[in-house]
Amino acid sequence: MSKQFFSKLSQNYIEVLEDNEYYDITIEVGEDPNVKIFRAHMIVLCYRSPFLRRILASKKMNNDVTLVHIKFPNISPEIFQIILKYVYGGIISLNEKEPLEILRVLAAADQ
C-alpha cells in the first residue's frame, strides 16, 4: 500500500512540474541555438537540492520581484530535463544504449 502512495506522490510532483500556472522561477539552460527555459518552483528546488538552494538564496536576496531567473548555459536542455524530473519525482529515465548520456547527466549533477 505504501508503494502506491509514493508512486502517486511522485506522479503528483511530476504534474506540478508540468503545470505552467504556479511557477515562481525560470531556469534557462543550453547555448544558442539550443536554449530552453524551464518553469519550476523555488520551494521544491530548495528542499531537494542544496546546490540550487544556495543559488536561489543569493538570487532572492538580490531581487525583490517574485519571479527569479537563473541560467545554466553549460547544461543541455535534454540533460536538464532528466535532472529536473528526478528532482521533482525521484524518477530518472536514461537511455541505456547511450552511455554518453549517462556521463552527461552525472557531470551536470556533479555541479
**Mean pLDDT score of the chain, rounded to an integer?**
86
**In whole angstroms, what separates CA 107 from the centre of its chain?**
15
pLDDT in tens, 60-93: 666 556 688 999 999 999 999 999 999 999 888 8
Look up the CATH architecture of domain 7-110. Answer: 2-Layer Sandwich (3.30)
pLDDT score recorded for residue 39? 96
**Mean pLDDT, residues 13-42:** 93
Residue 7 — pLDDT band, cuts 50, 70, 90?
Answer: confident
10 Å Cβ neighbour count for 13?
A: 19
Residues 54, 37, 50: CA angle, nearest 5 degrees: 15
